[in-house]
Amino acid sequence: TQLLEQSPQFLSIQEGENLTVYCNSSSVFSSLQWYRQEPGEGPVLLVTVVTGGEVKKLKRLTFQFGDARKDSSLHITAAQPGDTGLYLCAEGGTTSGTYKYIFGTGTRLKVLA
Amino acid sequence: GAGVSQTPSNKVTEKGKYVELRCDPISGHTALYWYRQSLGQGPEFLIYFQGTGAADDSGLPNDRFFAVRPEGSVSTLKIQRTERGDSAVYLCASRASGNTGELFFGEGSRLTVL
């Protein structure tokens, strides 16, 4: 069974600071998604990466997929209080032979004004 | 509505009771997923359906848990003889046809077993 470890588990920073969170797998991802979840709501998709070495940008968020497709990072520039939430990576491909979308352990981010 | 709908939003029950949680996916979405999430943790996969059939039920923790999707749309997660350890938020998600793509989640059903 593929395991997705995320680090750090918790992060509390001041508004305007930069941060990076990581997602690491015990095996190769076929594709990887990043979601953000706010309290009382379900996760919402931010991005999907498929190709090793791929970099995608979404406003102040930069997503990178490792060359070997076993890790990914999410970098936030000039964090804002609205970025507060639980960040989740998910593997949504055929690694296990099905499309069951395994989620990581999550990084809980709090941005202080 | 346009999104995934889950009912009830909150359910409090006593140990040993039977519980049903309902999920109404986005119209036309063929894949439907159930997850369980404990506070501050990532969602734990339980089961997913492709159409009416369970394509992968490897995440169901034991035989007290069962899910159905008889007409390929609405799904019900059924928990028998509930235990305190079953307390969690149960999330449902749906996905359009095709092998990969975005999961659209409901707001979840919070189950508390006393």
Q: Report the residue of B4, B10, B47, B105 to disrupt the A interface, i.e. the one with the largest count of A CBs within 10 Å.
A: B105
Query: Which of A35, A99, A105 lies closest to B41 in CB terms?
Result: A105
Look at residue B79 in the predicted model and tell me its pLDDT: 98
Residue range B89-94: mean pLDDT, rounded: 97
pLDDT for A95 equals: 52
Residue A110: CB atoms within 10 Å: 13
Query: Domain ranges in chain B?
Result: 5-9+19-95
Longest dimension (CA), chain A: 45
Q: Average pLDDT, stretch B63-78?
A: 96
Angle at A45 between CA A61 and CA B87, to 5 degrees: 120
Q: What are the residue boundaries of the structural domains of chain A, listed by start?
A: 4-112
Cβ-defined contact of B105 to A88 (cutoff 8 Å): no
E-strand ranges in chain B read 5-7, 10-13, 19-24, 31-37, 44-50, 53-56, 65-68, 75-79, 88-95, 104-105, 109-113
Q: Is the pLDDT of residue B100 over 70?
A: no
Partner residue opposite A103 with nearest CB, options B40, B43, B58: B43
Q: Chain B partners of A100 at a C-beta cutoff of 8 Å?
A: 33, 45, 48, 55-56, 58-59
Q: Which residues pair with A55 in a beta bridge?
A: A64
**d(C-alpha A88, C-alpha B103), whole Å:** 13
Distance CA A74, CA A55 (A): 10
Backbone angles phi, psi at B50, to 5 degrees: -115, 105
Answer whether A99 sits within 8 Å of B43, measured CB to CB: no
Looking at the complex, does the CB of residue A38 fall below 8 Å from at least one CB of chain B? no
The pLDDT value given to residue A1? 56
Q: CA of A43: which chain B residue's CA is closest?
A: B105
- Enumerate residues 32 to 51 of chain B having a beta carbon within 8 A of any beta carbon in chain A: 33, 35, 40-45, 48
- Report the CATH number of the A4-112 domain: 2.60.40.10
* Domain B5-9+19-95 falls under CATH 3.40.718.10: no
pLDDT at residue A103, rounded to an integer? 94
Query: Of the candidates A64, A61, A60, A31, which has an alpha carbon nearest to the alpha carbon of residue A48?
Result: A31
**pLDDT tens for chain A, residues 1 to 113:** 567 999 999 999 999 999 999 999 888 888 899 999 999 999 999 999 988 999 999 999 999 999 999 999 999 999 999 999 999 999 876 555 567 889 999 999 999 99
- Which pLDDT belongs to residue A31? 85
**HEC assignment per residue over A32-68:** EEEEEECCCCCCEEEEEECCCCCEEEECCEEEEECCC
pLDDT at A29: 82
